[in-house]
Amino acid sequence: MIRQGTTENISSVEQLLGDATERLSRNSAGRRAVVMHLSRLKPDNRGLHQLRIAANTFEALVKSFDGQIFVLSQGDIVFVCREEAVAAIDEAVNKLRYLFGDDPLVAQIEAEDAEGFSTWFSLGGDFAPFQAYVTAVRSEEERRRKRIASLPSGTAAGERQPMDPQGLHELINAIVRADLSNLLRRQAICTIASGKSPQPLFREVYVSIADLRDAIMPRRDIASDRWLFQYLTQTLDKRVLALLRKADDTDLSHSYSLNLNVTTLLSPEFLAFDASLRSGARGSIVIEVEKVEIFADLGAYLFARDFVRERGYRLCLDGMTRLTLPYIDRARLGLDLVKLFWSPDMADRGETEKSREFIASLDRVGKSRIILARCDTDQAIEFGLKAGVKLFQGRIIDKMLAANAGVTLTRNRLAPPTR
């Protein structure tokens, strides 16, 4: 059974965990608990997709080991089950350590062989430590609720109100009615030859969440509730597809990429978008899928992958980092491109095992298949060119294109890259 927190329920998930703990205190023999300290991860690693997958990783163990899952408001996940589930839990924890392998918390744990990502409790042995943890999270949740309740309508001290189901309903209704075309952003993915100006190959098309919030619901933090935000992204996917279907902008007729949920690729809205494309356009369109979407439901991904590739689209795996790239088999996943997020530590050519794994993975994935994204400095470009990477994306690229605005740049159709 999965319990998840909301911003509106009087009986919060922390209260439910407290009630379960009270019952366990009377008969805890043969029971074990593990806490996944996801609240300690960086904020961008605690997004909706990551936390949903973390909860789903334990969901398969619920029936087998008489378990309960509690997804706390601050991000931790608590799983309570029978003692004999140790091996299965350990396997689930290791999967999540891989999923969050690019986070400093996990990297530090692996380097120092220290704890911090998860905590295990043998409830039948010493119940007090687990009870102390539950008491602490309940107290923290009570303080958070009192702080929110003290806020006046709108914002206070620059803070936005958290999203709730009613707010989401209002936001989605506004999105359905609003013209989002002015919120549609484009960022070029370019080829760069040494000593030459960047040449746009295609452009990523997306809706800026910050701009959407400011334009429609500025007093709400629309990403505060991970489960509600997931529903919002699915709605946005469909609205963007509808916009592209009706767009009269020739720039949106070919040569662009879209970041979509796997569920969107299997939706009627995507079929309608597909049917609206001109002959030959599909081969110039790239579908970006985040790595967590693949792990969430591998079967659904494989089905969607076969469908979109058969139609002629190209697939790009989004969100890879220096630490996660070595674990990806691009060919087996049926991917045409891989988007790698730049970080300054990539330039470290030291002899550490992780550095060697990363450099080797560039060759294995295929340097001409990698998009080096989030390039905000010259250092990123210099590293990519030296490493043999062919495709680049980021603010420094935008600046370079703006500087060459007086020069007519060729918009190439996306051709199959070679290794």
pLDDT at 64: 79
Closest CA to 266 of 229, 231, 302, 295: 302
Is residue 214's pLDDT more than 90?
Answer: no
Mean pLDDT of the chain: 81
Q: How far is CA 277 from CA 187, 269, 280, 287, 312, in A?
A: 21, 13, 8, 14, 12
Q: How confident is the model at residue 170 (pLDDT cuts 50, 70, 90)?
A: confident
Residue pair 234/293 in contact by the 8 Å Cβ criterion:
no
Q: How confident is the model at residue 350 (pLDDT cuts 50, 70, 90)?
A: low
Q: Please state which of the ranges 4-18, 101-115, 220-234, 401-415 shows the lowest mean pLDDT.
A: 401-415
Centroid of chain to Cα 300: 17
Output the pTM of the full model. 0.62
Structure tokens that stand for 36 in this block: 């996944």
Closest CA to 149 of 300, 347, 359, 8: 8
How far apart are alpha carbons 16 and 31 in whole angstroms? 18
How far apart are alpha carbons 184 and 205 in whole angstroms? 7
Highest mean pLDDT among 113-127, 132-146, 198-212, 332-346: 332-346
- Residues 40-62 have pLDDT tens digits of 887 667 666 677 778 888 887 88
Domains parsed from the chain with CATH numbers:
2-150 (3.30.70), 164-403 (3.20.20.450)
pLDDT at 108: 64
- Residues 70-114 have pLDDT tens digits of 888 778 889 998 888 888 888 888 888 877 877 777 766 554 444
> Euclidean distance between the first and final Cα of the chain, in Å?
47
3-class secondary structure per residue, 338-353:
EEEECCHHHHCCCCCH
Write down the residue that tokens 């309740």 correspond to: 149
* Mean pLDDT, range 311-322, rounded to an integer: 94
